[in-house]
Amino acid sequence: MDLFVINGGKKLSGETTISGSKNAALPVLFATLLTKERCEIKNVPELRDVQSTYELLNYLGKNCFYGYGTFVTGEHSALNPVAPYELVRKMRASILAAGPLTARFGHARFSLPGGCTIGVRPIDIHLDGFRQLGIEISHEKGDVVMTARKLHPAHIKLRFPSVGATENLMMTASLIEGETILENCAREPEIEDIAAVLVRMGASVEGAGTSIIRICGATELKGFTHTVMPDRIETGTFILLCAAAGGKIKLSGADPRPLSALIRAVRKAGVKVYCGRDSITVDAEVSRPKPVNIVTKPHPGFPTDLQAPWMAFMSQCAGECEVHEKIFENRFMHVPELMRMEANITVSDRKAIIHGVPGLVGAPVMASDLRAGAALVVAAAAARGTSVIRRIYHIDRGYEKLEMKLRDLGVDVRRRKDDGTVK
Ligand code: EPZ
């Protein structure tokens, strides 16, 4: 296992380029299951989750090539629509294979994805929608078995705007003739990315990015070429990195439009953010930020995936502020680690109160999940002294070439093997 050693407390400067979005790329990779034709996806980040998807798609029978940011799929023989536990457990997004496989082959069997540190993460909204499209669902030995005798379009109202359920149902409905209406859908920008792909494949999709999406499916879908959108969460993490450590940085290939809630909050805290068409410049004084309260919400609200890095930034605020986590029930695992770095935070249920401290201090800490790990990187870059961040395999799931990009921005970071010695 690797770890990061970060010598913090230095002002940032420089420029780096934003990668393709993990959370947009994954559903597009699973959409390739809807067709036997060749699909080519560009700007795919080199990440562990993409590697896990590659392994799962290959296991299912797709012929995949993945390298240099491009992912190509095709088929030489019939697929086997069974996704085993060993592959599904590596990544919750594997559930996105279920809809496309059942829509195409009439049946699928996949291992139930487990919970994870940020919450239980049930899949009832996916399954409820599938049932309404004519899919029968049963459970056998920890697997979900899906059978569709006759798929039909439906008017489905999601009980919560789940990102994954919206994507899964959009993909499934794209292979069902007639109009399916999804109500109370997720409005995240990644939904628009997958909608563009489904349209290229031959489905009609209207309303992506709003809470009502109408899909008219086709009996067969075509191959496609697609370029994945920039990663808004990676962009937001770098904005918060500079906001916390101070200095001036430029993020090229970044799209500021899906980040308006974050940019508003960061500006309110006193940091200057300049938005170009495809770049963002952050200019942060070293003085302490003003306290700003946030509540995480579905898009266009403040993204839950930036809540942990936001807390790393706010931990040095001049006063007190609140953070409400409304999406996941257990997404404050970074708090004890930030407190090792001398942050002062109290948590009660889904609310945290940050009592700002004049500065963070480097310490040995541990990443518990992807974004909690990102928060520790932000905190370590801002802190005086050396921090050692362990279990960075979580961070490698979602940040491409992170230490290279951090160095572009002036962070003193090294990746080391964790040989168990105390550093
Ligand atoms: C996506 O997860 C992202 N993952 C997550 O990013 C992100 O945090 C999340 O959306 C919210 O924005 C990918 O896109 C691969 P949800 P997803 O279904 O689709 C509950 C990261 O760090 N729910 O919108 O799984 C669920 O438990 C990851 O990159 C149900 O109750 O999220 C949660 O509380 C982490 N039943 C809430 O809804 C369901 O059937 C939102 O989940 C589905 C979800």
For residue 250, what is the domain's CATH number? 3.65.10.10
Amino acid (one-letter) located at 26? L
Q: Are residues 59 and 12 in the same domain?
A: no
Does 104 lie in the same domain as 139? yes
Residues 399, 284, single domain; the answer is yes
Indicate if 282 and 202 belong to the same structural domain: no
Cα 298 to middle of ligand 1, angstroms: 10
Out of 74-83, 229-238, 334-343, which region has the weakest mean confidence (pLDDT)?
Answer: 74-83
For residue 350, give Cα distances in angstroms to 114, 239, 281: 22, 25, 32
Q: How many domains does the chain have?
A: 2
Q: Are residues 168 and 292 in the same domain?
A: no
The H-assigned helical ranges of 32-119 are: 48-60, 85-88, 98-105
The domain boundary residue, chosen from 227, 248, 278: 227
pLDDT digits (tens, 9 = 90+) for 264-323: 999 999 999 999 999 999 999 868 999 999 999 999 999 999 999 999 999 999 999 999
Q: What is the pLDDT of residue 121?
A: 86
Specify the pTM. 0.97
- Inside any domain, residue 144: yes
pLDDT at 421: 65
* One domain for residues 14 and 137: no
- Is position 422 within any domain? no
Length of the chain as a residue count: 423
**Whether pLDDT at 215 is above 70:** yes
How many angstroms separate the alpha carbon of residue 164 from the centre of ligand 1? Answer: 6
Distance, CA of 289 to CA of 360 (rounded, Å): 13
The answer on 36 and 154 residing in a single domain is yes
Residue 423 placed within a domain: no
Residue 180 CA to residue 189 CA, distance in Å, equals 21
Question: Tokens 């940019």 sit at which residue?
Answer: 263
CA dihedral 178, 182, 183, 189 (to 10 degrees): -130
Condensed to tens digits (0 to 9), the pLDDT of residues 85-103 reads: 888 888 889 999 999 999 9
Taking the C-alpha atoms of residue 112 and residue 391, their distance in angstroms, rounded to an integer, is 25
Parent domain of 8: 2-19+230-417
State yes or no: pLDDT of 329 exceeds 80: yes
Which of 189, 208, 227 delimits the end of a domain? 227
Residue 116 lies in a domain: yes
pLDDT of residue 288: 94
- Looking at 198, 227, 256, which one is the last position of a domain? 227
Pocket test for ligand 1, best of 96, 125, 160, 371 (most atoms within 8 A of CB): 160
What pLDDT digit, counting tens, does each position of 149-201 carry? 899 999 999 999 999 999 999 999 999 999 999 999 999 999 999 999 999 99
In a domain, 199, yes or no: yes
Residue 37 domain-assigned?
yes
Percent residues over pLDDT 90 in the chain: 91
In a domain, residue 392? The reply is yes
- Could you read off the pLDDT of 392-411 as tens digits, one per residue? 999 999 999 999 999 999 99
In this structure, the answer to whether residues 37 and 10 fall within a common structural domain is no
> Taking CB atoms and a 6 Å cutoff, what residues make up the pocket around ligand 1?
23, 26, 92-93, 119, 121-126, 160, 162-165, 186, 304-305, 327-328, 370-371, 398
Same domain, 114 and 193: yes
**Do 185 and 60 have their domain in common?**
yes
Looking at every residue in the chain, the average pLDDT score rounds to 96
Regarding whether 129 and 32 lie in a shared domain, the answer is yes
Compute, in angstroms, the gap from residue 189 CA to the centroid of ligand 1.
14
- Do 211 and 287 have their domain in common? no
Residue 116 has pLDDT above 90, yes or no: no
**Within a domain: 193:** yes
What do you get for the CA distance between the two ends of the chain, in Å? 15
> E strands of 236-319, at which residues?
247-252, 272-275, 279-284, 294-295
